[in-house]
């Protein structure tokens, strides 16, 4: 038995009332489509080719179909949006399916993000016991509205699926619904090609019509019960919010079971690919998304937003830190209010303080950038202190240039470093300097106007201003009695 997978993702999803195609809607930082994709990937080598049916226009953005093992989807264009059967037919007629050896096609809807991987695995293995049957997953829903109802005969065998649009009042009271997950034997698929008539009301060709077609040709239809939760589909913005809440709960529960402390799981958004080590504490209103990986025993503050960021162990990320594609090594301390842009690599036990922005910058172990600084395209050695208000002037209006700062360096506050430039090991840069050329190791560098003192000059200033000003109580004005 060889199984191909297929995800139906060509529908636009007009009920979402959004200019974005439905399957590109974002749920916890990942596209809706990526959820069934990952569920199918979890079947590993049990699936041969994974087909993804798309609209002729393709996607608006990145559909998010990545795989750590490098597996790629086989895209199939559905030429006209003529319904779910049209989508399956496009797969059956595609070259990869035709030339492949699949005995079965496992079909899932692209808008169902809650598919349970172990249930899916059991469903896929039905093909072993019932190689010739059309298998479909069903669920008992308290509120079956919007779903196709399963019609059974007096013996209890499935005879048809009735879509809501055509269901009678009596049929609408059926709670057993079609989950939108099918295992179709190749033979059935190929013999039904061009034989499924359009729905008389919707004029679309429904994949669900295949059930009555198989029954009328003497074939077997087998149903497999799924949990109501794992089949929920997204057709409206409200349903998108409902599945987001369910996924949040599911993902957060998994992290808590593995020893992660979430102050408030209802207010913490963690994407499905995120990994967190045991003993790590995450405060509320924090968003961890993409391929973010956090080690053990870290503290992640509130309002933190980490995307594709990798943190080691015992890392402290204080409140309101935003980081994208950054690397935070063991024991580093970041924030509050820091912005770490792509290519930031913070060494072990380094410190990044408030209102610091970094981009494509490596900070060595135990170095500190504690206040109000911008480091772009820079390299900082170990044990270096970057004073408050240090700016790397990395952009000359045309190109970006690199700054290299050695180890054991002291950069005084309010220093501008005009790149490209290199500052040697153990050197000292006096506060308020502008560095425009290389500084050798062990040197002291200072570039600022020398200080001038005019005795009593300040007092004269206040007298003059105070006499002319309506505000007689300026900062330096002599205080009247009783005014202290």
Question: What are the catalytic residues?
Answer: 371
Contacted by 161, from ligand UD1, Ca ion, none: CB < 5 to 8 Å by type: ligand UD1
Q: How far is CA 317 from CA 259, 332, 366, in A?
A: 19, 8, 16
Number of residues that bind ligand UD1 (CB under 6 A): 30
- For 301-427, strand residue ranges (E) read 305-307, 310-311, 316-317, 322-324, 327-328, 333-334, 338-340, 345-346, 351-354, 356-359, 362-363, 368-371, 374-376, 378-380, 385-386, 391-393, 403-405, 410-411, 416-418, 421-423
Least distance to Ca ion from the beta carbon of 108, Å? 11
Nearer to ligand UD1, 29 or 112 (CB): 112
Question: Is residue 208 close enough to count as binding ligand UD1 by CB under 6 A?
Answer: yes
Q: Please identify, among the stretches 42-50, 229-237, 305-313, 431-439, the one whose residues bind Ca ion according to the rule CB under 5 A.
A: 229-237
Residue from the set 21, 73, 148, 233 that interacts with Ca ion by CB under 5 A: 233
Nearer to ligand UD1, 137 or 405 (CB): 137
Q: Please identify, among the stretches 178-186, 350-358, 390-398, 443-451, the one whose residues bind ligand UD1 according to the rule CB under 6 A.
A: 178-186
CB 43 within 8 A of CB 64: no
Q: Phi/psi class of residue 137: alpha, beta or left (left: φ > 0; alpha: ψ in -120 to 50)?
A: beta
Nearer to ligand UD1, 207 or 310 (CB): 207
Tokens of 73: 């989807």
CB 441 within 8 A of CB 428: no
Tokens of 463: 């007298």
Least distance to ligand UD1 from the beta carbon of 325, Å? 31
Question: Is residue 147 close enough to count as binding ligand UD1 by CB under 6 A?
Answer: yes
CB 317 within 8 A of CB 332: no
Structural element, H or E, at residue 129? helix 126-129
Angle between helix 84-92 and 209-216 (nearest 10): 70
Residue from the set 40, 174, 177, 322 that interacts with ligand UD1 by CB under 6 A: 177
Question: Is residue 110 close enough to count as binding ligand UD1 by CB under 6 A?
Answer: yes
Question: Is residue 207 close enough to count as binding ligand UD1 by CB under 6 A?
Answer: yes
Least distance to ligand UD1 from the beta carbon of 181, Å? 8
Supply the DSSP symbol for 313. Answer: S
Nearer to ligand UD1, 207 or 240 (CB): 207
Question: Is residue 5 close enough to count as binding ligand UD1 by CB under 6 A?
Answer: no
Angle between helix 34-41 and 117-124 (nearest 10): 60
Least distance to ligand UD1 from the beta carbon of 269, Å? 24
CB 445 within 8 A of CB 430: yes
Residue from the set 163, 289, 325, 349 that interacts with ligand UD1 by CB under 6 A: 163
Question: Is residue 115 close enough to count as binding ligand UD1 by CB under 6 A?
Answer: no
* Position with the least CB separation from ligand UD1: 148
Tokens of 203: 């004029």
Number of residues that bind Ca ion (CB under 5 A): 3
Residue from the set 4, 24, 89, 111 that interacts with ligand UD1 by CB under 6 A: 111
Task: Respond yes or no on whether the N-terminal peptide bond of residue 420 is cis (omega within 30° of 0).
Answer: yes
Q: Which of 173, 177, 48, 185 is nearest to 129 (CA)?
A: 185
Residue from the set 24, 82, 89, 111 that interacts with Ca ion by CB under 5 A: 111
Q: Please identify, among the stretches 45-53, 73-81, 234-242, 306-314, the one whose residues bind Ca ion according to the rule CB under 5 A.
A: 234-242
Q: Please identify, among the stretches 202-210, 367-375, 398-406, 447-455, the one whose residues bind ligand UD1 according to the rule CB under 6 A.
A: 202-210
Could you tell me how many helices (H) and strands (E) the chain has, helices first?
A: 10, 41
CB atoms within 10 A of CB 16: 20
Q: Please identify, among the stretches 84-92, 107-115, 168-176, 421-429, the one whose residues bind Ca ion according to the rule CB under 5 A.
A: 107-115
**Which parts of this chain interact with Ca ion (CB under 5 A)?**
111, 233, 235
């Amino acid at each position: 038995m060889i199984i191909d997978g297929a995800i139906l993702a060509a529908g636009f999803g007009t009920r979402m009332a959004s200019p974005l195609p439905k399957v590109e809607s974002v749920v916890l930082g990942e596209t809706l489509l990526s959820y069934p994709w990952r569920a199918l990937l979890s079947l590993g080598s049990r699936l041969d080719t994974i087909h993804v049916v798309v609209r002729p226009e393709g996607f608006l953005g990145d559909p998010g179909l990545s795989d750590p093992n490098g597996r790629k989807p086989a895209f199939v264009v559905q030429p006209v949006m003529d319904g779910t059967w049209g989508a399956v037919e496009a797969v059956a007629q595609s070259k990869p399916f035709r030339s492949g050896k699949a005995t079965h096609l496992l079909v899932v809807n692209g808008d169902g993000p809650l598919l349970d991987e172990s249930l899916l695995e059991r469903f896929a293995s039905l093909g072993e016991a019932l190689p010739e049957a059309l298998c479909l997953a069903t669920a008992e829903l308290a509120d079956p509205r919007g779903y196709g109802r399963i019609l059974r005969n007096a013996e209890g065998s499935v005879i048809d699926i009735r879509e809501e649009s055509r269901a009678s009042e009596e049929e609408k009271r059926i709670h057993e619904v079609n989950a939108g997950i099918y295992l179709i034997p190749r033979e059935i698929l190929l013999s039904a090609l061009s034989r499924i008539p359009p729905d008389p009301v919707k004029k679309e060709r429904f994949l669900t019509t295949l059930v009555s077609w198989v029954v009328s040709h003497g074939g077997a239809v087998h149903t497999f019960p799924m949990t109501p939760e794992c089949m929920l589909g997204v057709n409206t913005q409200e349903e998108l919010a409902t599945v987001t809440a369910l996924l949040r709960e599911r993902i957060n529960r998994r992290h808590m079971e593995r020893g992660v402390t979430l102050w408030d799981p209802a207010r913490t958004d963690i994407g499905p690919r995120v990994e967190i080590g045991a003993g790590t504490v995450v405060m509320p209103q924090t968003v961890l998304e993409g391929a973010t990986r956090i080690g053990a025993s870290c503290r992640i503050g509130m309002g933190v937003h980490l995307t594709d960021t990798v943190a080691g162990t015992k890392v402290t990320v204080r409140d309101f830190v935003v980081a994208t594609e950054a690397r935070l090594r063991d024991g580093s301390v970041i924030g509050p209010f820091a912005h770490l842009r792509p290519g930031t690599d913070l060494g072990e036990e380094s410190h990044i303080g408030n209102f610091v922005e970094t981009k494509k910058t490596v900070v060595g172990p135990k170095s500190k950038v504690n206040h109000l600084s911008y480091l772009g395209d820079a390299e900082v050695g170990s044990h270096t202190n970057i004073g408050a208000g240090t700016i790397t002037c990395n952009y000359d209006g045309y190109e970006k240039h690199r700054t290299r700062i050695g180890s054991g360096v002291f950069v005084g506050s309010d220093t501008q470093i005009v790149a490209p430039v290199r500052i040697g090991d153990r050197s000292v840069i006096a506060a308020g300097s502008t560095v425009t050329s290389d500084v050798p190791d062990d040197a002291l560098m200072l570039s600022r106007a020398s200080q001038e003192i005019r005795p009593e000059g300040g007092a004269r200033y206040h007298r003059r201003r105070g006499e002319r000003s309506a505000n007689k109580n300026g900062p330096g004005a002599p205080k009247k009695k009783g005014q202290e």
